[in-house]
Amino acid sequence: MAEEGASVAVVDSDAGRAEKAAGDLKDRGGVAIASVADVSDPDAVDQLLNATDEHLGAASILVNAVGISEGQNVFQTDPGQWDRTLAVNVGSYFLCARALGIRLRDQDTPGAIVNVSSTNAFYAEPDAIAYTASKGAVEALTKGLALELAPVRIRVNAVCPGIIRTPVTEGMLAESDDAETLLATWNSAHALGRMGAPHEIAAVVAFLASDDASFVTGSSFIADGGLSSGWLF
């Protein structure tokens, strides 16, 4: 999106990660700022948008791309882990969409929201009950927001990636007792025979946020290399 000329506010709960991402965009000629916020906190979300407005001008595009996975299966996940996962993975999407929607409605300005979800919105996997439930909720939230925000000219869509080579998956490989086998399993689970790369998901996000997708709302785009076309594992 920065390559297309958008000014970007990078938000993370970790200052180092936010600064690095913003710095990478600046090095490539983009305009970016780094912000630190817990986007599951309503007050933090309002402060975040105020800061974005101050430094970059009024925001009109929101990409919700935050997620955690706490707990494991239904027996091993305690209520606190369940609540935290839903608060971050779904609650933050609602809070950010609501805050942006209020601003754009009052300014009579069109906008776009893209929710980064997962193939777990449609297919469960073992030992991830809270995460799976949260992604199903993001699917429903996307459709609900699309209906309610359409009258104020805000489109809302979702992107559902497969397994992507990110710092999270790199960390899982590093912690694995057999990283080679785990990597081979992940790769073979996709019809294309490999995991995805972050830029491949970013391209779908950028399309949905752009005017090229002006007649697209309430949709979930599966970008999973064929992961969901057959048996997952």
* 144 exposure class (CB count in 10 Å sphere: 0-12, 13-18, 19+): middle
Annotated active-site residue in 12, 88, 121, 131: 131
Residue carrying the six token digits 């599951």: 40
Q: Name the nearest CA neighbour of 83 among 44, 118, 40.
A: 40
Give the number of residues written for the chain.
233
- In 10 A of CB 61, how many CB atoms? 20
Tally of CA atoms within 13 A in the half-sphere of 6 that contains its CB: 21
Q: Name the nearest CA neighbour of 184 among 176, 230, 166.
A: 176
Q: Whole-angstrom Cα distance, residue 65 to residue 89?
A: 9
Cα angle vertex 173, ends 171, 77, to 5°?
Answer: 70
Q: SS3 for 181?
A: helix
Mark whether 131 is an active-site residue.
yes
Mind telling me the catalytic residues? 131
